[in-house]
Amino acid sequence: MAQEEMIKKLIEEMSECGLFIGKYDAKYGDKYFMYGVQTVMEYLSYKVSDEYGDNFSSMFLKNMIDSESKI
């Protein structure tokens, strides 16, 4: 299995946890912690491809905004 395929599989597995895709309890959570999570997840997603990274980044930010709008 190619490195990109392994990373994509890892991202897909990690994405089952909302925290790793930008979904969090914004009332009690820390957005700066989430930026750290975002950095790691984006780094991995860009290792797959630029398009995959761009899509993941957009999705992560949308989820963070949605989480923050609930408080």
Q: What is the pLDDT of residue 5?
A: 96
50 band by pLDDT with thresholds 50, 70 and 90: very high
Task: Give the CA distances from residue 36 to residues 1, 20, 31, in Å, rounded to whole numbers and listed in that order.
Answer: 28, 10, 9
DSSP 8-state symbol, 71: -
Report residue 1's pLDDT band, with 50, 70 and 90 as the boundaries. confident
In the chain, where are the structural domains located? Answer: 3-69
DSSP states along 1-69: --HHHHHHHHHHHHTTSGGGGT---TTTS-HHHHHHHHHHHHHHHHHH-HHHHHHHHHHHHHHHHHHHH
Q: What is the mean pLDDT of residues 44-65?
A: 98
Per-residue pLDDT tens digits for 16-36: 999 999 999 999 999 999 999
CA 33 – CA 64 distance, rounded (Å): 12
pLDDT in the model for residue 2: 93
pTM for the full predicted model = 0.92
